[in-house]
Amino acid sequence: MIVIGADTHKSNHTLAAVDAGTGLVVGERTIHAGEAGHLEALRWARELADERVWAIEDCRHVSRRLEQALLAAGERVLRVPPKLMGQSRRGEREAGKSDQIDARAVARAVLKEGLERFPIAHLDAAAMEIRLLADHREDLVAERTRAQNRLRWHLVDLAPELEASLPAGGLDRAVQLDRAAKALRRMQRTARVRVALRLIAKIRTLTRQAKALERELHGLVASECPQLVAEQGCGTLTAATIIGRTAGAERFATDAQFARQAGTAPIPASSGRRDRHRYHRGGDRQLNRALQTIAVTRARLDPQTKVYLARKRSEGKSNREAIRSLKRHLARRIWRLLQPPETLDNRAMTIHCNLPRGSFVLT
């Protein structure tokens, strides 16, 4: 069997085939990033070995078309986190950096870690749509924040008392923007005043667009996974992040694989007489942040979660370590909620998923 590592770019992709038994490179090829190049890659790979696995660096915007073409052809594709590939490249005997070195590093990272430890690529059109909309909303909010910061600096010069009276984080509210606009319209129309008024108009537009996207996401998420939105602490935006970043729960064979992807799988960090674990620093940080949001909300509102955290602290864990343990349980529950009903045993679904709102199994 061979593992074919792919270093993907906008215009071309570099492939390196590595023998799974010996770790030796058995072939390399650079292809055009298009349909003709994808067909060329398939013909080349089929000539090398009958049994093969494709390992693609998980750069979704540049690797997505190649991944789709391979999956449509019935190939097995694994997604490799860029951070893990970087670690593998630093371990290569050959110094330097090139597309060929990167492609080999991707393949050897998979061989070193084990094929079974990587999620299989899966085409989930609904999850991709949710992710694109959620990412676009985050971009709009980030742009609005920049506009709000620029507006505040202009107000410091134009109306310092007004700026001091505006609450922190309040410049996305119509009432506060109206106050600022009313004060600015009474001033002489200097360049700074005109710029400030344009920033107010921009903030209003960005706010409307972000709210419209949130409403659209609410409908998509409720249709895709209503049981996830029903979870305590998991609002529309958090659920959208989980669904979009998971990109199909079917590609994770176990909840442990999902936990690793989410950065909640503990790894040993013991020394001397101290026996402890910590999180793996890898994984999808946005997915980890979504689980953190749920965990913090439950810790504040859910009685069962409060009891669990108190028990963990009584065992000698710090509050931070107790939250980490909670996030690992949440990863297991979220993984089950995201699975299609036919993939889980009915009894397991009854025990773990059909619980009253806000409750879950803790051990």
Higher-confidence position of 200 and 324: 200
Beta strand 12-19 with 2-8 is antiparallel
Distance separating alpha carbons of residues 180 and 158, to the nearest angstrom: 11
Q: Exposure string (b/e) for 18-44, b if CB count within 10 Å is 16 or more?
A: bbbeeeebebbbbbebeeebbebbbeb
Distance separating alpha carbons of residues 209 and 203, to the nearest angstrom: 10
pLDDT > 90: percent of the chain = 46
Mean pLDDT for the stretch of residues 332-352: 66
Amino acid at the residue 260: R
Distance separating alpha carbons of residues 324 and 265, to the nearest angstrom: 9
Mean pLDDT for the stretch of residues 288-297: 93
Note the pLDDT tens digit of each residue in 257-282. 888 888 888 777 667 666 666 666 66
pLDDT > 70: percent of the chain = 85
Question: How much is the pTM?
Answer: 0.74
Hey, which residues does 16 pair with through a beta bridge? 5, 28
Amino acid at the residue 296: V
Asked if the model's pLDDT at residue 296 lies above 90, the reply is yes
Asked if the model's pLDDT at residue 92 lies above 60, the reply is no
Asked if the model's pLDDT at residue 290 lies above 90, the reply is yes
**100 backbone dihedrals φ, ψ, rounded to 5°:** -65, -45
Note the pLDDT tens digit of each residue in 40-75. 999 999 999 889 999 887 766 778 888 888 888 888
Distance separating alpha carbons of residues 183 and 162, to the nearest angstrom: 8
pLDDT at 359 (0 to 100) = 46
Using alpha carbons, select from 246, 254, 241 the residue that is nearest to residue 338.
246
Asked if 355 and 302 count as a contact pair (C-beta separation under 8 A), the reply is no
Note the pLDDT tens digit of each residue in 104-118. 888 888 888 787 777
C-alpha 39: how far from chain center: 30
Q: Exposure string (b/e) for 265-283, b if CB count within 10 Å is 16 or more?
A: bbeeeeeeeeeeeebeebb
Amino acid at the residue 306: K
Distance separating alpha carbons of residues 108 and 97, to the nearest angstrom: 15
Using only the alpha carbons of the chain, give its radius of gyration.
Answer: 25
pLDDT at 134 (0 to 100) = 94
Asked if 55 and 5 count as a contact pair (C-beta separation under 8 A), the reply is yes
Sign, CA dihedral 207-209-213-215, equals positive
Asked if the model's pLDDT at residue 353 lies above 60, the reply is no
pLDDT class for 183, splitting at 50, 70, 90? very high
Asked if the model's pLDDT at residue 80 lies above 60, the reply is yes
Asked if the model's pLDDT at residue 180 lies above 50, the reply is yes
pLDDT at 84 (0 to 100) = 62
Amino acid at the residue 146: R
